[in-house]
Amino acid sequence: MKKIVFDLDGTLYDLYGVPDWEKKLREEKENIFLEGKSFLNKDFYEIIEELLKNGFSFDVATWLPMFATKQYEEKCRKEKERWVKENLKFVKNIYIDAYGVPKQKMVKEKSSLMILIDDNLEVCKDWATKKQRQYKNVKDNLIEILEEILWEHME
């Protein structure tokens, strides 16, 4: 089985485009993970369908806000889960953990190939191994990255 693991904030969801996002997190405002715009569009869902046909499964691995109270972490967890369930119906597992937990430790169900798509290059580098765990840093076009994965791993 081949797996793609998506980060959320800055990768599929534009948290950083929410006005005063850092202040809102520090003040523990509700619904911040529902305010921003999605990077998803028709092309995204079409390439996901092709990847599914070619044996890929999908997970999400995302962090909770830094220095948040347990109560706020739980609210944020629910917001992120809601966003994933509404926008990423094809996702098999949702892993949400404390800020800074290595994503390779978060993902419980392993696969022979696991590709992390994340906007944080350091997180990507920590994820990588020689064969099993690869990454794509989403500084570029998300659709192009997904198409590249499809072409590299077509059955």
Instruction: Tell me the pLDDT tens digit for each residue of 50-84.
Output: 999 999 999 999 999 999 999 999 999 999 999 99
Q: Which domain holds residue 114?
A: 2-152
CATH of the domain at 18: 3.40.50.1000
Instruction: Report, as an integer, the average pLDDT of 89-117.
Output: 96
**What average pLDDT does the chain have?**
94
Higher pLDDT, 145 or 154: 145
pTM: 0.94
Structural domain total, the chain: 1
Task: Fill in the DSSP letter of residue 13.
Answer: B
* Distance between CA atoms of residues 138 and 12, nearest Å: 9
